Copies of this chain bind each other. A is one copy, B any other.
Amino acid sequence: MKRLDSKDSTIYVGSKQPMSYVLAVITQFQNGAKEVTVKARGRVISRAVDVVEILKNKFMNDVKVGKIETSTDIVKGEKGDVNVSVITIPLTK
């Protein structure tokens, strides 16, 4: 899923504290990324929204939130396939 274009990058939100991902986004912008996409799946979707809100309100007031998209991933599990929701939040400066 990683893009080759170094000007774009994706931060996958997982189980760490929101601030870890906030700092990861800031670092990407400081390294010259024009667009940083925050992506999360399942229960941590709410954390991805927290990351964007913390970033917007406390660290990068000028960040622009693009078109937020939702989708569904099919995850193969022991008990068959499970549908998991995905959120994609594109950010630009």
Contact = CB atoms under 8 A, between A and B. Distances in A.
Interface residues of A, number: 22
A75 to B, nearest CB: 13
Interface stretch (A3-11, A29-37, A44-52): A44-52
22 contacts: A42-B46, A43-B43, A44-B46, A45-B45, A45-B46, A45-B49, A46-B85, A49-B70, A49-B87, A50-B85, A52-B70, A53-B70, A53-B71, A53-B85, A54-B83, A65-B70, A67-B67, A67-B68, A68-B68, A68-B69, A68-B70, A70-B89
Interface of A: 42-46, 49-50, 52-54, 57, 65, 67-72, 83, 85, 87, 89
